[in-house]
Amino acid sequence: MQNTFIIGVIISTTNVRTFDATQTKFNKGERSVWSFILRDSEKDFINVTVWGNTEFVKKLSSTFNIGSVVEVISPKIVKRQPNDRNEQFIPSTSSPFTLIVNEGIALIQKHDAPTHEQYKNLLMQPVKSVTSVKSLKAILDNIEALCDHFVDLLVVVTFIADTRNIMTRDGRALLCRSFEVTDGSTDNAVSLILWEKDWVERSAFWEPKRTVLFLIDARIAYDEYKKKMALSISRQTLIMECPNIPQAAEIRNAVQRYDPDSICSDPFAVPNPDTITTVMTVQQITEKLQKKVTVEGERLQFAAIVKVSVTEMNLDGSLQDVISIKCALCKKVVTDVQDSCMNLSCPAGNGIRTPLNTTKFNIKVNLKDDTGYLIGCRLIGDVAERVLGCTVEEFQAMTVENRGELKWLYLLEKCNVCLHILGPTSAFPRALYNILSIQPCSEETEEAIEQTTAMLEN
Ligand SMILES: [Zn+2]
């Protein structure tokens, strides 16, 4: 069909993918692709793929996101083929067709008309009946048999981690966010990761025990990283926020008994300190850690606020004690800023790529309250930069005396410290206490920190 015009709301998007096309038949340098799912009725939704030069594609992807109501003008309409490899990388849609927007031939623009709201309302309605849903218990009990299958789930979010920047082995920077869900059918929560930028940003507004998600075609597969079968969000999975269906209320009720600040399995999921509400003493933390760990191979994790004084911060020692330098690609430790990675199987180590190191704070802090001590709490990365009010580069440029002085911002002060606590495992017999934030209780200290920050900025 020629000159078509389709209006709908964007219900899901992918990241822009860029590749060098000089070796292909197009021979046009760098090209990019971006796709999204467009919906225009209760039942109908279709995949749209945008092709063009990187600037064109990035402009569209940053202008429109989940919830935008758009007009797709003059796209190429293609019949979906069941054996098409591309079908593996997009959610399955109700439409037998797919739309292709080629730069210069088709257009996408904002739909600015009174009907806008009627499309927008479709965003929160499930695209199909939730009768296809399997309970989490049924899935976890049969997870081996379900290998390489796709399942539908209706779940409530129980935990949302902070975003994380990851450098892949081939040097691409990715933003991701872990979160956890459950449905009341089991005591277990399941940890999932969002990789698509739009969803990573949108999930910042999810609320623990409130946000209900309909996950269509979540994938069950062997997870090389966790070394077991696991559920995951793949590129075929369609995520829908469904706050208003009757089942959402039921499922919210079923999870109210969950401990608010417990976290399940992903040891790299860093809790957002603003969401932590549980206050504990050092003794309560110690007692909780001594209780037997639940499932074999799973690490006990929880988050808590402790009201403590900071008794030690090792800022005046040698730089090597407070800063860790790693290869950005393979994450192996590099001994000095000037050194390069020595790992011969890493592109930066064997000379294929220019070495790139990442430098991070890695500070040890001791805390104390009336019930006991927590020794060797870790204050690392961005959190350390926020707490000290300077970047790791600024810190390296300071004199030893100035570095040492920074600790007096907190030392012996009463503070509210948010901790992410990881229990011991057979491989790591010591518990880890990761500091997520330090808030001094007195206003004077807060002022002093602001002054230091201002001084460093000038
Ligand atoms: Zn390396």
The domain that holds 170 is classified in CATH as 2.40.50.140
**Is 162 a domain residue?**
yes
Quote the ligand 1 centre to 164 CA distance (angstroms).
20
Quote the ligand 1 centre to 325 CA distance (angstroms).
11
Quote the ligand 1 centre to 334 CA distance (angstroms).
9
Q: What pLDDT sits at residue 78?
A: 93
Q: What pLDDT sits at residue 263?
A: 65
Quote the ligand 1 centre to 355 CA distance (angstroms).
7
Quote the ligand 1 centre to 87 CA distance (angstroms).
34
What is the three-class DSSP state of 197?
A: helix
Quote the ligand 1 centre to 11 CA distance (angstroms).
39
Instruction: Please return the burial class of 277, using the count of CB atoms within 10 Å of its CB with bins 0-12, 13-18 and 19+.
Output: exposed
Quote the ligand 1 centre to 174 CA distance (angstroms).
18
Quote the ligand 1 centre to 38 CA distance (angstroms).
41
**Is 297 a domain residue?**
yes
Quote the ligand 1 centre to 154 CA distance (angstroms).
41
Per the model's pLDDT, the better-predicted residue between 444 and 361 turns out to be 361
Quote the ligand 1 centre to 2 CA distance (angstroms).
52
Per the model's pLDDT, the better-predicted residue between 345 and 134 turns out to be 134
Q: What pLDDT sits at residue 267?
A: 63
Q: Is it the case that residue 456 has pLDDT exceeding 60?
A: no
Quote the ligand 1 centre to 193 CA distance (angstroms).
25
Q: What pLDDT sits at residue 86?
A: 79
Quote the ligand 1 centre to 265 CA distance (angstroms).
27
Per the model's pLDDT, the better-predicted residue between 454 and 210 turns out to be 210
Q: Can you give the residue range of the structural domain that contains 445?
A: 273-323+359-457
Quote the ligand 1 centre to 336 CA distance (angstroms).
14
Quote the ligand 1 centre to 324 CA distance (angstroms).
14
Quote the ligand 1 centre to 341 CA distance (angstroms).
5
Average pLDDT over residues 51-63: 94
Average pLDDT over residues 67-94: 90
Q: Which amino acid makes up residue 298?
A: E
Quote the ligand 1 centre to 338 CA distance (angstroms).
14
Quote the ligand 1 centre to 339 CA distance (angstroms).
11
Quote the ligand 1 centre to 328 CA distance (angstroms).
7
Quote the ligand 1 centre to 423 CA distance (angstroms).
29
Calculate what percentage of the chain has a pLDDT beyond 70.
Answer: 90
Q: What pLDDT sits at residue 270?
A: 78
Together in a domain, 38 and 24 = yes
Yes or no: say if 419 and 303 are a contact pair by the CB < 8 Å rule: yes
Together in a domain, 141 and 248 = yes
**Where are any strands of DSSP class E within 275-387?**
301-313, 323-327, 357-369, 372-380
Together in a domain, 248 and 184 = yes
**Is 353 a domain residue?**
no
Q: Is it the case that residue 452 has pLDDT exceeding 80?
A: no
Q: For the stretch 54-82, what's the b/e string if a residue is b when 16 or more beta carbons lie within 10 angstroms of its beta carbon?
A: eebbeebbeebebebbbebbbbeeeebee
Average pLDDT over residues 41-64: 95
**Is 40 a domain residue?**
yes
189 falls in which pLDDT band (50, 70, 90)?
Answer: confident
Together in a domain, 433 and 309 = yes
Quote the ligand 1 centre to 345 CA distance (angstroms).
8
Quote the ligand 1 centre to 264 CA distance (angstroms).
30
Average pLDDT over residues 34-41: 96
Q: What pLDDT sits at residue 368?
A: 94
Together in a domain, 301 and 429 = yes
Q: What pLDDT sits at residue 227?
A: 77
**Is 348 a domain residue?**
no
Together in a domain, 196 and 237 = yes
CA separation for the pair 41, 39 (Å, rounded) = 6
**Is 216 a domain residue?**
yes
Q: Model confidence over 92-129: pLDDT tens digits? A: 999 999 999 999 999 999 999 999 999 999 999 999 98
Yes or no: say if 158 and 258 are a contact pair by the CB < 8 Å rule: yes
Quote the ligand 1 centre to 200 CA distance (angstroms).
27
Together in a domain, 252 and 302 = no
Q: Which of 92, 124, 156 is the last residue of a domain?
A: 124
Region of poorest pLDDT, from 98-107, 188-197, 236-245, 404-413: 404-413
Q: Is it the case that residue 243 has pLDDT exceeding 90?
A: no
**Is 347 a domain residue?**
no
156 falls in which pLDDT band (50, 70, 90)?
Answer: very high
Yes or no: say if 415 and 438 are a contact pair by the CB < 8 Å rule: yes
Query: What total number of domains does the chain contain?
Result: 3
**Is 255 a domain residue?**
yes
Yes or no: say if 240 and 11 are a contact pair by the CB < 8 Å rule: yes
Which of 164, 158, 126, 431 lies closest to 299, judged by CA? 431
Together in a domain, 74 and 217 = no
Q: Hey, which residues does 194 pair with through a beta bridge?
A: 177
Per the model's pLDDT, the better-predicted residue between 223 and 117 turns out to be 117
Average pLDDT, the chain: 87
CA separation for the pair 129, 131 (Å, rounded) = 5
Phi/psi for 131 (5° steps) reads -65, -15
Quote the ligand 1 centre to 63 CA distance (angstroms).
36
Contacts of 421 by beta carbon, 8 Å cutoff, 6+ apart: 285, 289, 301, 302, 303, 304, 431, 432, 433, 434
Quote the ligand 1 centre to 387 CA distance (angstroms).
29
Yes or no: say if 97 and 122 are a contact pair by the CB < 8 Å rule: no
Quote the ligand 1 centre to 14 CA distance (angstroms).
29
Q: Model confidence over 269-316: pLDDT tens digits? A: 778 888 788 899 999 999 988 876 555 666 788 889 999 999 999 888
| DSSP state letter for 427 | S
Q: What pLDDT sits at residue 372?
A: 93
Quote the ligand 1 centre to 71 CA distance (angstroms).
46
Q: What pLDDT sits at residue 277?
A: 85
Quote the ligand 1 centre to 301 CA distance (angstroms).
30
Q: Is it the case that residue 319 has pLDDT exceeding 90?
A: no
Quote the ligand 1 centre to 99 CA distance (angstroms).
41
Together in a domain, 58 and 199 = no
